[in-house]
Amino acid sequence: MTAALWPRELDAGLSHPKLESLKRRNGKRQLGTIGRGNHFTELQLDEAGCLWALVHTGSRCMGPAIRDLHTGGERLRGLTATSAAGRDYLADAEWAVAFARANRARLIASLAAIVERVLGAVPVAESYLDCTHNSVTRESGLWVHRKGAIPAGDMESGVIPGSMGSATFHVLGRGRADALNSCSHGAGRAMSRSEARQRLSERTVTRDMRDVWFEEAATERLLAESPSAYRDISRVMRAQRDLVKVVRRLRPLLNYRAVTG
């Protein structure tokens, strides 16, 4: 990737040579890519008939590498925020959030260009929303680590996708301090990936995606991400209606999910 395409805010140095090497080798190559797992991109329609684009992805290889380096492979490790190790982790974690934000922006720009060329639909710049669901921030004197959760401060905008093929919700936070001004970032899994591969069939995927365009040739490889492997997003939203207010509900029209790298 040329220097012109690499965002300036990502030039900040990381805390360890291994991370710097990974940034040069893989980070620059992966910027602007979706990745695997539950990450996807989608074209959606809201209740008013307006077309929206969704990109659900994050920091790619960099986030897990930062986590593993600072935890030393332990599942749970505490760090003193003011120590050298704590400051290094916080700086690296902030960099990963910036990478994820730049990654989504690059993808949505590419998708918008395709939609404009094919459909003649021009993006509305002020409608752009970006939402992070893995971050560490200082709030009211505390360090708040959200993993699988998004900020939901009073009137704070958020995006809550379900699974591929199910509804997405644009929301405003209600600022519930007893929930750390947070809410769920999505539906959450009802089955592990291995369980879904054992229990679900290609027919399940086809049924779940019957009203959505998707890559049918990849149906077998999508078993673990079928909507049936996830909780019902509508029930999840009802369960957290005291945390967020729904602004709009969007249904999927076309879903693309990478099944490799």
Confidence category of residue 1, pLDDT binned at 50, 70, 90: very low
Mean pLDDT over each residue of the chain, to the nearest integer: 94
For residues 152 and 244, the answer to whether their CB atoms sit within 8 Å is: yes
What residue ranges define each of the domains in the chain, with the CATH number in brackets?
Answer: 16-188+230-256 (3.90.1860.10)
**Backbone φ and ψ of 180, nearest 5°:** 55, 35
Look at residue 165 in the predicted model and tell me its pLDDT.
Answer: 87
pLDDT tens-place string over residues 4-41: 489 999 999 999 999 999 999 999 999 999 998 889 99
Percent of the chain scored above 70 by pLDDT?
97
For residues 256 and 42, the answer to whether their CB atoms sit within 8 Å is: yes
pLDDT tens-place string over residues 75-107: 888 899 999 999 999 999 999 999 999 999 999
Q: In this model, does residue 261 exceed pLDDT 70?
A: no
Beta-carbon-side half-sphere exposure of residue 77 (alpha carbons within 13 Å): 13
Cβ contacts of 92 within 8 Å, gap of 6 or more: 14, 15, 19, 66, 69, 70
What b-and-e string marks burial along 69-85, b requiring 16 or more CB atoms within 10 Å of the CB? bbeeeeeeeebeeeeee
**185 catalytic per annotation:** yes
- Region 139-147: mean pLDDT is 94
* Residue 198 buriedness (CB in 10 A; 0-12 / 13-18 / 19+): exposed
Look at residue 3 in the predicted model and tell me its pLDDT.
Answer: 42
Q: In this model, does residue 67 exceed pLDDT 80?
A: yes
Pairing of strands 142-147, 168-173: unpaired
- Region 34-51: mean pLDDT is 94
**Catalytic pick among 56, 70, 170, 185:** 185
Confidence category of residue 260, pLDDT binned at 50, 70, 90: low
Q: In this model, does residue 223 exceed pLDDT 90?
A: yes
**Backbone φ and ψ of 213, nearest 5°:** -75, 130
pLDDT tens-place string over residues 178-202: 999 999 999 999 999 999 999 999 9
- Region 228-255: mean pLDDT is 97
Q: In this model, does residue 258 exceed pLDDT 90?
A: no
- Rounded distance between C-alpha atoms, residue 39 and residue 225, angstroms: 9
Percent of the chain scored above 90 by pLDDT?
91
